[in-house]
Structure 1
Amino acid sequence: MSERETWATRAGFILAAVGSAVGLGNIWQFPFKTAEFGGATFLVVYLVAVFGIGLPAMLAEFVVGRKSNLNTIGAFERIGYRNWRFVGVLGLLTGFWILSYYSVVGGWVLRYVGGSLTGAYFGDAQGYFGAISAGPEAIALHAVFMALVVGIVAFGIQDGIEKATKLMVPSILAILVALAVWAFTLPGATPGYAYFLSPDLSQLRLTVDTTPSFPWLTFGGPLAAIIPFAVSQAFFSLSLGMGAMITYASYIDGDESLFGDSATIVVFNTAIGILAGLVVIPLLFAQGVEPGSGGAGALFISVASAFADIPFGRVVGVVFFLVVLVAALSSAISLLEVVVSYAIDNYPVSRPQVAVGLGSAIFTLGLPSAWDTAWLTWFDTLAYQLLLPASVLGILVFVGWVFGRPGVEELLRGTGFGDGVGSLWLWLVRTVVFLGVVLTLALGLLTLFGGADPAIVPPL
């Protein structure tokens, strides 16, 4: 087993964690989940989920990671709970699963950077997406994207991930700010801001029917459609339930405040998601595109169509898709690091060998998604509705009821806070956060297996 690395600086850890959180979940998924599920109404539920559920859950993952200084599976054994290793296994498998199709979308982004330079999609944006999103070309681009991810992870924590994210994250923020300012100047963009920022509170209703049915309760009302996607979007965009935050926290060498670090990460991540919305949604309204149309492919159809009709469209297209590419890479490297960390912690293998081997396995799992977008839709839906909430729920149960007080002590280390703050966090994990995740998982299972309205599953 090789000597375990640590972050060179606290800023390096924070930027790496922000980079893990800030990815396609923010720039690909978030604007179009928001557009599809009611604009500002979805945004309200998402913000509640991020700060009310995501932040305490992130602290739970940080506690396990820093306490153990080991990978997402070995962490549970090192702190004395070997029988709970299955929670780490679920997180690792969830990240492995998500990266397999995430890389396919990363390949699309690579293609659109080139397409923006040449204006290749300007004549027929929908036809262009159909031609490059599946089949041999999509497989080739999937391979190129995974090769980039493998190359960064192979260099290690300080020389690979930390240096890359120190460049990537500030670049993402700066470019999105510039694009949001530019979008504000577009004629016809004003209704987009109203749609994105003015919620319809009448939509925030959830009804419960206790008539016997699967699984004994039937949920209805607008919130029944919004909650599972908003909460899972929070998990996806914060890289929770994938083993990433446990793994990144395991490289902390010191008594930094986990409260301060997690709050910084969540605020940065949320701000970048909102910035992406302030670019994409006004742009769609300016071009007369119906919100939510196109599903996951909308970023590559609706936005690309808009670039074809504006001044300097090629330049703006290149800049936009470059920032999407950087964001995709910053998250993808964290997901690959989860499985690489486990391998190098447990076996006498070199980091480059493991990165190449596991990257190849993930590439292979992603082949169906690259060959047919229907498979990608299925992979993504399963991750959102089942894998992410189930994995986060496992962490919450372990930290809240099994680990308990040692977790509070680890959380308070380096903060200067009293025991009351830690006790409040533990109470939230056991009650509010736990119930929120259980509700999300229940609604997700209803969608997958209980005959819930399939319209709430977004098509490609």
Structure 2
Amino acid sequence: MTRASWRSRLGFILAAVGSAVGLGNVWRFPWLTAENGGGAFLLLYLLVIVLVGVPGLLGEFVIGRRSNRNPVGAFEQLGGRHWRALGGVALLASVVVLSFYSVVGGWILRYTAGSVTGAYFGAPQQYFAAIDYGFGAVAFHVLFLAITAGVVYAGVDRGIELATKVMVPAIVLLLGGLAAWAATLPGAGAAYGFYLTLDVAYLRANFLDVLAASAGQALFTLSVGAGVMLTYASYLGEDRSLAADGTIIATLNTGIGVLAGLVIFPVLFSLGVAPGSGGPGALFISLAGAFAELPYSRLVGTVFFGVVALAALSSSISIFEVLVAYLVDEHEATRSNATAVVAGLFLVTGSVAAMVPSLFTLLADTIANLALTAGLLGFLLFAGWVLGSKALAEYESGAGPLARLVSVPWLYAVAIVLPLFLAFSLLSGIAAVLGVTLGFELLAAAAVVGVAGCIAIIRGPTAVL
């Protein structure tokens, strides 16, 4: 069976950007920024993107392109059958994320339609409470899932690539227009001050909390840890510079997230709505309520939620594709049959999440972050200590002089520095779930011991470190 591939470099970049530019940018990024000190969060988020996100993204790219397989097949082919379980972690993370993601996607479709009619303008909080869970939420989750499955069914080049070539530019243009309009609103200056000004005292007092939030957001928004970027890179040719493409993808994704903040915060400040109020529901309560009070409210609301819908679809398509690629590669299923099986799986898991609020919250707030962090930690240890020199060769294939200059530092970061950071983040998250209070020193020591133990176990003869 001939394996699919991207038609063009632009198609791959836009598809990867589309995967990254999702609800993480427009739904999750603004309220996390608001809850973590505005500019303080933004600074650490940008640092984590550069120092952790981009090198981690390249780690997934290296594994994917070298194997030309899905996550499970990639680790088996490159490391042996005992590594298949690591690919299974990626599949599990994909299931976890899309199970709640499609529910939120259904909310967005409903709000897009509600903006046209003005259905939520009178009482946005009551409207959200009436539609967030239950049979109505299941129906719109199914609609969102059906659109996602339709694009994936059409294939990598004729479906995913063509769709993202339309959706990603549309997201940028529409968000840019909304940002220009938001700059004219009263209170825009105060909004920019909150969003873009660093409060050093706040950062000093809340450094660990802000760092944990920014790290989780960076991994979520770049789609690393769930095998999405690994799968997308498996359709790449050897002539592409992974470093150049990864940098472009991370830059575009981060820019769109920052642009979303330039829309959302001026809207909230213009009507005196406190940033961060509403938490994860802020997009559907605080912001929706603000739209109701603004001129051209129905048009603005329709355009905004239309942008969010495009962003959500571009990401859900990429997560869906991970599981389809697994069935096609490992079980020789046709794309149509694989799409039907995966759609059936998410029909069940997403419907349960839409009916059980506690399960939705557990998936979205806790399990997703832990699964993505654990997945990326495993990927990077594999790239640095099992592939080793082979990872370096794959990174340098197609790379330019500047990328080659930093190739060895990249491998050291992937093998040692980033796993320490990710192990610390993972332990912190687990401690929070268990309600255990641990000091920074103890967590750091546990992270060092844990990663050192993993390295001692999995270090292979090809390692260069």
Is 1:311 the counterpart of 2:295 in the alignment? yes
Look up the match of 1:87. 86
Residue identity opposite 2:257 in structure 1 = G
Aligned mates of 1:403, 1:82 — CA distance in 2: 15
Assess if the C-alpha contact under 8 Å between 1:228 and 1:441 holds in 2: no
For residues 162-201 of structure 1, what are the structure 2 equivalents within 5 Å?
162-201=161-200
Assess if the C-alpha contact under 8 Å between 2:116 and 2:299 holds in 1: yes
Aligned mates of 2:140, 2:179 — CA distance in 1: 29
Look up the match of 1:28. 27
Look up the match of 1:292. 276
Look up the match of 1:211. none
Look up the match of 1:251. 235
Aligned mates of 1:424, 1:170 — CA distance in 2: 34
Among residues 226, 230, 239, which one is paired with 2:214 in the alignment? 230
Matched residue of 2:177: which SS?
A: helix
Assess if the C-alpha contact under 8 Å between 1:56 and 1:428 holds in 2: yes
Residue identity opposite 2:275 in structure 1 = P
Aligned mates of 1:226, 1:353 — CA distance in 2: 44
For residues 26-425 of structure 1, what are the structure 2 equivalents within 5 Å?
26-205=25-204, 221-417=205-401, 420-425=405-410
Assess if the C-alpha contact under 8 Å between 1:227 and 1:440 holds in 2: no
How far apart are 1:420 and its partner, in Å? 4.7
Assess if the C-alpha contact under 8 Å between 1:66 and 1:250 holds in 2: yes
Assess if the C-alpha contact under 8 Å between 2:97 and 2:368 holds in 1: no
Aligned mates of 2:305, 2:10 — CA distance in 1: 26
Query: What count of residue pairs does the alignment treat as equivalent?
Result: 437
More helix per residue: 1 or 2? Answer: 2
Distance change >3 Å, CA 452–CA 181, structure 1 → 2? farther
Aligned mates of 2:102, 2:168 — CA distance in 1: 19
Distance change >3 Å, CA 34–CA 345, structure 1 → 2? same
Assess if the C-alpha contact under 8 Å between 1:224 and 1:443 holds in 2: no
Is 1:426 the counterpart of 2:408 in the alignment? no
Assess if the C-alpha contact under 8 Å between 2:238 and 2:397 holds in 1: no
Look up the match of 1:444. 429
Aligned mates of 2:79, 2:404 — CA distance in 1: 23
How far apart are 1:88 and its partner, in Å? 1.3
Residue identity opposite 1:109 in structure 2 = I
Aligned mates of 1:28, 1:107 — CA distance in 2: 13
Distance change >3 Å, CA 12–CA 385, structure 1 → 2? closer
Aligned CA-pair RMSD: 1.4
Aligned mates of 1:134, 1:84 — CA distance in 2: 38
Aligned mates of 1:200, 1:161 — CA distance in 2: 41
Aligned mates of 1:193, 1:372 — CA distance in 2: 38
Residue identity opposite 1:259 in structure 2 = A
Assess if the C-alpha contact under 8 Å between 2:96 and 2:368 holds in 1: no
How far apart are 1:291 and its partner, in Å? 1.2
Could you tell me which runs of 5 or more consecutive residues in structure 1 were left unpaired when the two chains were aligned.
206-220, 454-460
Identity among equivalent pairs (%): 47
How far apart are 1:419 and its partner, in Å? 5.6
Higher mean Cα deviation, 411-420 or 237-246? 411-420
Matched residue of 1:181: which SS?
A: helix
Aligned mates of 1:80, 1:442 — CA distance in 2: 26
> For 1:81-138, what per-residue CA distance to the aligned partner results, in whole angstroms no more than 9, with x for missing partners?
3322222111111011100100000000000011000101110000000111111100
Aligned mates of 1:382, 1:361 — CA distance in 2: 21
Matched residue of 1:256: which SS?
A: coil
Residue identity opposite 1:102 in structure 2 = Y
Aligned mates of 1:369, 1:289 — CA distance in 2: 30
Residue identity opposite 2:350 in structure 1 = G
Aligned mates of 2:332, 2:245 — CA distance in 1: 32
Aligned mates of 1:88, 1:228 — CA distance in 2: 25
Matched residue of 1:38: which SS?
A: coil
Matched residue of 2:282: which SS?
A: helix
> For 1:218-262, what per-residue CA distance to the aligned partner results, in whole angstroms no more than 9, with x for missing partners?
xxx512222222111111100000110000000012311001100
Q: What TM-score do you get using the length of structure 2 for normalisation? A: 0.92
Aligned mates of 1:323, 1:190 — CA distance in 2: 24
Assess if the C-alpha contact under 8 Å between 1:233 and 1:384 holds in 2: no
Aligned mates of 1:88, 1:283 — CA distance in 2: 42
> For 1:412-444, what per-residue CA distance to the aligned partner results, in whole angstroms no more than 9, with x for missing partners?
001133865211101111233222212211221
How far apart are 1:373 and its partner, in Å? 3.0
Aligned mates of 1:80, 1:395 — CA distance in 2: 12
Aligned mates of 1:82, 1:61 — CA distance in 2: 19
Higher mean Cα deviation, 76-85 or 360-369? 76-85
Distance change >3 Å, CA 349–CA 385, structure 1 → 2? closer
Assess if the C-alpha contact under 8 Å between 2:79 and 2:386 holds in 1: no
Could you tell me which runs of 5 or more consecutive residues in structure 2 were left unpaired when the two chains were aligned.
439-465
Aligned mates of 1:138, 1:439 — CA distance in 2: 36
Assess if the C-alpha contact under 8 Å between 2:64 and 2:233 holds in 1: yes
